[in-house]
A and B are shown apart, each in its own frame.
Chain A
């Protein structure tokens, strides 16, 4: 399918994280996964107070520090040092997952290898290595009120990542609410996948070419707003 891939500019990691952060509402409790999701901590819209949770037992941590400037006893789940902030608190791992499993998290953001049109998520078994790490992903996928996936729209080889049915081991079935990619924003609904936003220069037809299941184009589908 590589001949069909539109050669247009895609959003970079920072911009994707910026778009993720626009989903955070004032007062939300949010867990950010490793990679692009973690970057979203630095893009909370002005005037909104967001409380970040990390699996390793912290609520209310501050921005990610510059490399080498942090305290190793103050890290997010990805091991990045973060800043101390007013209101933050620490707790044990069982408490941390009572927060996750008990429905106390408003939003969880993580990456994925594949998402199906029903919102099934596959993101722990590294496809080419046939090993994987479940970590906190299953608990988060089952427990968070809203699950946002942020990922590149296709693989490096140009294969679909938004698929009719996941080929990889599932992290959780029917759990994804919103998919933010380097070319589109797609909502998972009972009727199917609804294309809500496209990256600058992209059309809904371009996005459809890189998406296996049929997309429903939202009546007000627009260019991704970043500011």
Chain B
């Protein structure tokens, strides 16, 4: 039987995500890097008490519609609809304005674990790579060091950081094939390849599904082995 990870719809792709799941969400700041259609489907499913792992907590679809985004949903769709119990996040709020996450945070309606961005990326990568923990200097002398094991290596102080394990990783890529091989476009790569394979199930939302063999093996960024499901957005995409 040919391997076929392609799933017909976004709703089908997220059908087994249950209340209380730990969900990684790829992308960075701008919505074009994010799995917007998977987030919409997850919201439609009505799950609650999620623990989310993401770089940011969202600006909201209105911001992105104004910039002309066809798929404008970011983390805010889960935030504003009360689906998140705890956020493990690097950039939860904006210096420029008050987002919905900040409102929930101030009202005590969501828990937060704020993680330096590089440490977040490496904790995700550690989960993917089967690493039990690692030491970084980042956070020494700040609130980040609270409760963590310290170790001096070659005369420098380090903190022990542990992997973040998740049930599902929702990511966005430019093109994918039925094996789950993925390529990305420009700066929309970000956390997406880092999270691919870091969760028990990785679901990739792609702009376009291509035939097996069409992606240049030298250019594939995420090997299909890390990806469990591939689902395509309903649109044509501009050439890079």
Contacts and interface: CB of A to CB of B under 8 A. Distances in A.
A211 B205 CA distance: 52
Contacts, number: 142
A34 B137 CA distance: 24
B115 A134 contact: yes
Bin chain A's interface residue count: 35 or more
A97 B186 CA distance: 17
Looking at chain A's contact residues, is the secondary structure mostly helix, strand, loop, or mixed? loop
B189 interface: yes
B124 interface: yes
B142 A72 contact: no
A132 B94 CA distance: 8
Interface stretch (B3-11, B25-33, B77-85, B227-235): B25-33
Interface stretch (A53-61, A145-153, A196-204): A53-61
Interface in B67-82: 67, 69
Contacts of A94: 121-122, 124-125, 194
Interface string B94-116: 11001000100110000000111
B168 interface: no
B117 to A, nearest CB: 4
A90 B118 contact: no
Interface of B: 28-30, 32-33, 55, 67, 69, 90-95, 98, 102, 105-106, 114-119, 121-122, 124-125, 136-144, 184-194, 221, 240
Given A72-B69, A131-B105, 12 more contacts: A56-B29, A57-B189, A73-B32, A73-B187, A78-B29, A93-B117, A96-B121, A97-B122, A134-B144, A138-B117, A142-B138, A173-B142
28 contacts: A56-B33, A58-B186, A58-B187, A72-B69, A75-B186, A90-B186, A90-B187, A93-B28, A93-B190, A93-B194, A94-B124, A96-B121, A97-B117, A97-B118, A97-B121, A129-B93, A131-B92, A131-B93, A134-B91, A135-B91, A136-B90, A137-B116, A138-B116, A138-B138, A138-B139, A139-B116, A170-B141, A173-B140
